[in-house]
Structure 1
Amino acid sequence: MPGSEARIAQGALEGLAARAFSGLGVPDAEAGQAAAVLVLAEMMGISTHGIARVVTYGKRLASGGIDAGARIESTRIAPAFVQLDGGNGLGPAVGARALSTAMESAWESGVGVTLCRGSNHFGAVAPYCWQACEAGFAAIVMSNTTPLIAPTGGRTPAVGNNPIGFGFPGPEGRHVIVDMAISVAARSHIRRAAEAGEPIPDDWATDAEGRPTRDASAAMRGMLMGIGRHKGYGLALAVDMLAGVLSGAAFLTEVADLSREPGASQNLGHAFLLIDVSRLLNAAELAERMDRARDMLTSVMPVDPDSPVRLPGDRALARMRRARTEGIAVPDRVLDDLRALANGKEEVPKTLD
C-alpha cells in the first residue's frame, strides 16, 4: 500500500543500514558507525537526515563521488587537539571517528578538539551531541556546506547553511541539545511550497537577484536568508572559518554544489569540541544545576497553555524514547531500497531523490 510503513527495532535497522553500506563497498566498521548515526537521527524524528540518507549517500558512493574504501587518518597535533583527514570517505563515518578522537582527548585532558577535512555530508548534528552527552561531555559540533546564503549586501551565494549544535549532559538522559542550521527556513520547506504552488514568508529566501521573495519557485532559484540577516551571515561565516578554513578543508565557494556537480569531491570540514564536565562538577552538582536551569525555563507561563515551554532537544529525546519501546517507523519504500542494497543489487534505487 502506498505510504505504508513498518516499525523496526533499533538494532535491526542499524544492521540493515550497515549491510546496505557494506554492499556499496564501505568497510564493515565504517558502515556500522555511519548506520548508527543515521538511525539515531531517525529515532529523533530528523527524517531528512535519517535512514533515507543511505540511498542518497549510496548514489554518491556508486558514482565515486564518495570513496567507499577511504582511509580515515588522524594526527594528534597537541595533547587535546586532533586533525582528521576523512580521505573523501562516508561523512557519518568520518563524524563518528572525529567524535571518538575528541572523546579520547577530553578523557585525558579535560577538553578535546578534532578538526576534520576531506569529508562529506555527515548527517544531523544532534546524534553526535547526544552521544557526547551520554558519555558525560558537553559538546559543540559543526560543519560547513554548499553555499546557499549570500554575504550581507551580496547577490550570489558564498556561505553555506552551516549546521551547528550544542549538547549539555543532564541527569537521567535529560540532555539539552541544540541542533540548528543558519537559515530562517530549511530549503525542503521552500521546495514543498514550490511544488504546491504556495507562497512563502518574505523573510525565508531571495530570488536569483538577491531580492526577498514570496514566490517559492523563484526562491528555489535564489538563496536562503540567514537568521537575523547580518547576524546569521556572521554565524555561518564563523562556522566556516573553524570547520573549513582552519581545518584545511574546502571553504565558502570552494565547496562543490552537488546539484551541479553530482560526482564532485566536496572536501567538507567539521569541528568537534568537547568538555569533560566531571572536571568542573561532580555528578550530584551537575544534576542539581541542570535541573534548576530546566525548572527556571519550564516554569515560565506559556502563551498557549497547551504548548508548555520546552528545552531544546526535549521533543527529539521524547521521540527517541518512544522509538526504543515501539520501534522506528520506516516507510516501506525506504526499507525496500535498503534491502536491495543489503542484498547486493548493483543499481542504487532511484527513489528518494
Structure 2
Amino acid sequence: MESTLNTVSRHSEAELTQLGTRAFTGLGLRPQDAAQVAAILVTADLFGLGTHGLGRIESYGERLLVGGIKPRPDIVVQKVAPALCKVDGDNGIGPLVGMRALQAAMEAASECGVGVALTRGSNHFGPISPYSLIAAEAGFASIIGSNATTTIAPWGGSDARLGNSPIGFGVPHPGGDPFLLDMAMSVVARAKIRNALKRGESIPDTWATDARGRPTTDPAAALDGFLLPIGGHKGYGLALMVDLFAGLLSDAAYLTHVKSWSDAPEEPQNLGHFFILIDTRRLGSTQWLAQRMSDFAAILHGSPAADAQQPVIVPGEIELSKLQRQRRDGIVLDPATYERLQQHAARAPMAA
C-alpha cells in the first residue's frame, strides 16, 4: 500500500516485516534471526522512531557487507547465578543479540521473580522501547540500557569520552497501555542531527557544540563536535552509570574503548547492554496491577493542562498511539529506505 506522494510511502506492518526479513537474509543472516531483527526495527517505525527503524538497513548493511558485523554469530548465554546471565553476542547484529538477552532475562525472571542479562560483543541494537514493550506484554517491568560510540565530552572536558548511552523503563498495564520511557543521555541522538544536515536545516543551539565546545546551530559543525547531555552534570553522571552497567560490568567495551561504527565500520564495536526485569505477577494479581496503573495514569491526566492544545501525557502514550494508527493506516517509510530493503532482499535465496 503506497502513497501517491513522492516523499513518503505507506506499507503494512506485515509487508515491511517480510521485506525486512528477506533484506537481512540477503545480507547473510539466518532467516529466523533476520525475522527477529526485522520485528524490532519495524516496531521502531510503528512507534514513529524512523531514525532507529528499518532505515538502519543502511548502516547495519554496510557493516555486514564489510565484515564489521558477523551475520551468523554463535551467541552464548551463560547462567552465572539463578537470576543472572552473561550473554556473549559474538559480534552479531544488535537487535538479534538484544532479543536473545531479553529472552534470557525473561526466562530468569520467570524462575526467580527477577532476571538480569549482562551482554557483551554486540552492536547498535535499535531503540529500547520495542524490547520494553515485549517485556511489558509478557508481564515484566524492565530497566534496559546500552552504551554507545563516544559523542559526549566529560563534564568540563573538551573531547568525546562517553556515549549517549540510552536507557529505558517499562511497566506493564494489564488491559491498558504500558508505561514506556526510552531516552538517550544526550539532548538528541546524532541521527537527528544527521537528518537535519541531509535536509539542509539548522538545529537548536541546545543540541550540541562544535569541536571547540561552543553551542552551534550548524549540523555539520555539531557532527564534528559533541552532543550535549541532558540535565548538565546530572545527565553526565547518568550516562556514566549506564556505561558502567552496560559496558564495564558486562565485560564489553566502555567509554573510549568503544569503536565508532561510522569511522571504522569494518571493526567490531563490542557494545554492551543490560536487561533488568521484574516479574510483576509475583507482586500481585493482574487486577491489582491494572487498578494501580490506571489510578497512576489518572492522577497525571487529571492535572489541568497549562496549554489546552497539549494535555498531560504518560510516557509511551505518543508512541503507542502512533503504533495503533500506523497498524491501521500503514507505516510511513522513506522511499530510499524501501528501495534499499528491496535491493538487499533480492539477494536472499528464494526459499528464505
Query: For this structure pair, what is the TM-score category when the shorter chain's length is used for normalisation?
Result: over 0.9
Q: 1:63 to 1:211 in 2, by over 3 A?
A: same
User: What are the within-5 Å matches in structure 2 for residues 110-121 of structure 1?
Assistant: 110-121=113-124
Distance 1:337 1:194 in 2: 21
Q: Is 1:88 equivalent to 2:91 in the alignment?
A: yes
Mapping 1:271-290, distance limit 5 Å: 271-290=274-293
**Cα deviation, residue 199, structure 1:** 5.1
Contact 1:143 1:270 in 2 (8 A): yes
Per the TM alignment, residue 193 of structure 1 is displaced from its structure 2 partner at its CA by 4.9
In structure 2, the partner of 1:332 is 335
Confirm or deny that 1:208 pairs with 2:211: yes
2:45 maps to 42
284-293 vs 319-328, which deviates more?
319-328
SS of equivalent to 2:42: helix
Equivalent residue, structure 2, for 1:142: 145
Shift of residue 330, structure 1, vs aligned partner: 2.3
Letter in 1 for 2:301: T
Q: Aligned partner of 2:24: which letter?
A: F
Does residue 1:109 correspond to 2:132, yes or no?
no
The structure 1 residue matched to 2:186, chosen from 169, 183, 191, is 183
SS of the aligned residue for 1:83 comes to: strand
Distance 2:176 2:261 in 1: 37
2:323 maps to which residue? 320
The number of equivalent residue pairs is 346
TM-aligned CA deviation for residue 324 of structure 1? 2.0
Unaligned ranges ≥5, structure 1:
347-353
Per the alignment, in what secondary structure is the counterpart of residue 172 of structure 1?
coil
In structure 1, the residue matched to 2:310 is 307
Kindly indicate whether residue 26 of structure 2 is the aligned counterpart of residue 23 of structure 1.
yes
Change beyond 3 A, Cα 1:191–1:62: closer
Q: What does residue 250 of structure 2 align with?
A: 247
TM-score normalized with structure 2 length: 0.93
CA distance in 2, matches of 1:67, 1:219: 31
Deviates more, 1:321-330 or 1:286-295: 321-330
1:187-226 Cα distance to aligned partner (Å, 9 max, x none)? 2443455566665444322221223344443322110110
CA contact (8 A) 1:134 1:173 kept: no
Counterpart Cα distance in 2 of 1:197 and 1:62: 29
Are 1:110 and 1:279, in contact at CA under 8 Å, matched by a contact in 2?
Answer: yes
For 1:288-338, what per-residue CA distance to the aligned partner results, in whole angstroms no more than 9, with x for missing partners? Answer: 110111011011111110111111110110111112222222233322221
Alignment of 1:65-84 (within 5 A): 65-84=68-87
Superposed CA RMSD: 1.8
Q: TM-score if structure 1 supplies the norm length? A: 0.93
User: After superposition, what is the alpha-carbon deviation per residue over 1:266-300, rounded to whole angstroms, capped at 9, x for unaligned?
Assistant: 00000001100111121111011101110110111
Identify the range of structure 1 (207-216 vs 231-240) with the bigger mean alpha-carbon deviation: 207-216
Match of 2:230 in 1: 227
Aligned to 1:329, the other structure's residue is in SS state strand
Q: Secondary structure at the match of 2:175?
A: helix
**Identity percentage of aligned residues:** 48
Q: CA deviation at 1:263?
A: 1.2
- For 1:51, the aligned partner's letter is L
State how far apart, in whole Å, the 2-side matches of 1:306 and 1:115 are: 42
Q: Give, as a single letter, the amino acid of the residue that structure 2 aligns with 1:151.
A: P
SS of aligned partner of 2:266: coil
Q: What is the CA distance between 1:139 and its match in structure 2?
A: 0.6
**Unpaired runs of 5+ in structure 2?**
none
In structure 2, C-alpha distance between the alignment counterparts of 1:55 and 1:168, rounded to whole Å: 32
Give, in angstroms, the shift of residue 183 of structure 1: 0.9
CA contact (8 A) 1:144 1:162 kept: yes
Counterpart Cα distance in 1 of 2:200 and 2:37: 36
Tell me which residue corresponds to 1:269.
272
The residue that corresponds to 1:64 in the other structure is 67
Amino acid at match of 2:295: R
